[in-house]
Amino acid sequence: MMPDALGALNQQFQQGCYVAQQAAMAEQMGNVFAACQLYDQAIGLIANTIGMATQCGIPVTDNVFFSVAYCHFNAARLKAAAGWPQAVPAHLNFALQAVSQAIAINPNVYLYHSGAGLVLLAMSNVPAAMQEFERAVQLNPADSFSHWMLSSLHTAQGNTMAANQYYAAALSTQPNLPPPQFAPQQNQVAPSTPGQGGQNQGAKHDWFGLINNALQFGNSVMGMMEKGSQGQSLESGGQPNFNWSGY
């Protein structure tokens, strides 16, 4: 009975990943409304696999938690852009909880920390976001995305020396990166719930604007999701297995 349960769980997980890929394609085509709907569907599918696995006593792997975190984060990002701020905080809180579970299971995957940094930044918790990006580059010094994000955040804080150092590190791996960006001041639409990332001094910055710009040229998190949906494992900083067949 266990192999049948594992097969059903893995099939539903892969389906959720496929729907998430469709959501990403819809966003690329400019159909934000469809992308939001698809991410919600992907969340439902992957969250259901987690619930079913828990009921069956089957361990949930780190990549599954990361995948649902990825979907919640992108749902929050797109719903903020679509003018639905009331939906954003819950998605970010779920994303932070899920990515934290992934890190607890496998703390040495640099992309998990990079993803956590994005979630925390969207929640305006800039210091915690910087800590996660710093952990990502410790695990993978070639992580140009996290280097660039740190450069931009140091730029926002007026720390030019650190910003230049991180930008130089990013350019050493990805020479076509633009200069670090500073988030323009405006009301943040995604306040966090107390105890779930916390508000901080970056609350008046448009962090989603910075995040959206960064994802256009350094979407390493999306690359991880694509590998996950194909059942591949990752190499730098850990090798999570993107299905339950190994149990």
Tokens of 247: 């149990």
Q: What is the per-residue pLDDT for 108?
A: 95
Question: Is position 245 within any domain?
Answer: no
Please tell me whether the overall predicted TM-score, pTM, comes out greater than 0.75 for this model.
yes
Question: Is position 152 within any domain?
Answer: yes
Domain that holds residue 214: 2-229
- Calculate what percentage of the chain has a pLDDT beyond 70: 77
Question: Is position 184 within any domain?
Answer: yes
Q: In whole angstroms, what is the distance from residue 150 CA to residue 101 CA? A: 23
Number of domains in the chain: 1
Selected residue with higher pLDDT from 56 and 186? 56
Q: Across the strands, what pairs with 185?
A: 205
Contact 110, 146 (CB under 8 A): yes
Question: Is position 237 within any domain?
Answer: no
pLDDT(236) > 50: no
What pLDDT band is residue 35 in, cutting at 50, 70 and 90?
very high
Tokens of 147: 């280097």
Picking from 105, 113, 97, the residue whose alpha carbon sits closest to that of residue 43 is: 97
Packing angle of the helix pair 144-156, 110-122 (nearest 10 deg): 30
pLDDT digits (tens, 9 = 90+) for 186-222: 444 444 443 444 444 334 457 888 888 888 776 555 5
Backbone angles phi, psi at 205, to 5 degrees: -95, 150
Question: Is position 130 within any domain?
Answer: yes
Question: Is position 52 within any domain?
Answer: yes
Question: Is position 244 within any domain?
Answer: no
Decide: helix, strand or coil at residue 185: strand
Query: Which CATH number does the domain housing residue 66 bear?
Result: 1.25.40.10
Q: In whole angstroms, what is the distance from residue 120 CA to residue 129 CA? A: 5
Mean pLDDT of 74-96: 95
Selected residue with higher pLDDT from 217 and 225? 217
Q: In whole angstroms, what is the distance from residue 86 CA to residue 97 CA? A: 19
Picking from 55, 76, 131, 126, the residue whose alpha carbon sits closest to that of residue 100 is: 131
HSE value, Cβ hemisphere, 13 Å, CA-based, for 135: 19
Q: What is the per-residue pLDDT for 1?
A: 43
